[in-house]
Amino acid sequence: MKKLFASLVLAVVAAPVWAATQTVTLSVPGMTCAACPLTVKAALSKVKGVSKIKVVFDKREATVTFDDAKTTIQALMKATGNAGYPSTVKDR
């Protein structure tokens, strides 16, 4: 029984079968000019696990596709915040 449990744990570590690609739209109200999205995008691109970023300045939003085994929405919001653009979850 103990051995079975150990192999189950190993399976989870070796193959994160529950990991999924997620997409979240963040509201970034602090973007005030056309150059701001570049900063936001650069900040998000440094977050590990992020695969796709689309920043729409007109809507003041950033849509981010990421691997939820490698990062979290909280980490994405922290990244934009550290770059000077606090964000909140708009849609997920």
- Count of residues interacting with Cu ion (CB under 5 A): 3
Residue 36 makes contact with Cu ion by CB under 5 A: yes
Q: Does 50 bind Cu ion (CB under 5 A)?
A: no
Report CA 23 to chain centroid distance, whole Å: 8
Q: Which residue in the set 33, 58, 74, 92 belongs to the binding site for Cu ion (CB under 5 A)?
A: 33
Q: Which residue has the tokens 């509201």?
A: 27
For 81, phi then psi, to 5°, come to -60, -45
Counts for the chain of helices (H) and strands (E), in that order: 3, 4
Site for Cu ion (CB under 5 A): which residue of 1, 13, 14, 35? 35
Task: Please tell me whether residue 17 binds Cu ion under the rule CB under 5 A.
Answer: no
Closest separation in Å from C-beta 45 to Cu ion: 17
Q: Whose Cβ is closer to Cu ion: residue 36's or residue 47's? A: 36
Q: How far is the CB of 78 from Cu ion (least distance, A)?
A: 20
Type of residue at 4: L
Q: How many whole angstroms separate alpha carbon 63 and alpha carbon 55?
A: 6
DSSP character for 23?
A: E
Note the residues at the interface with Cu ion (CB under 5 A).
Answer: 33, 35-36
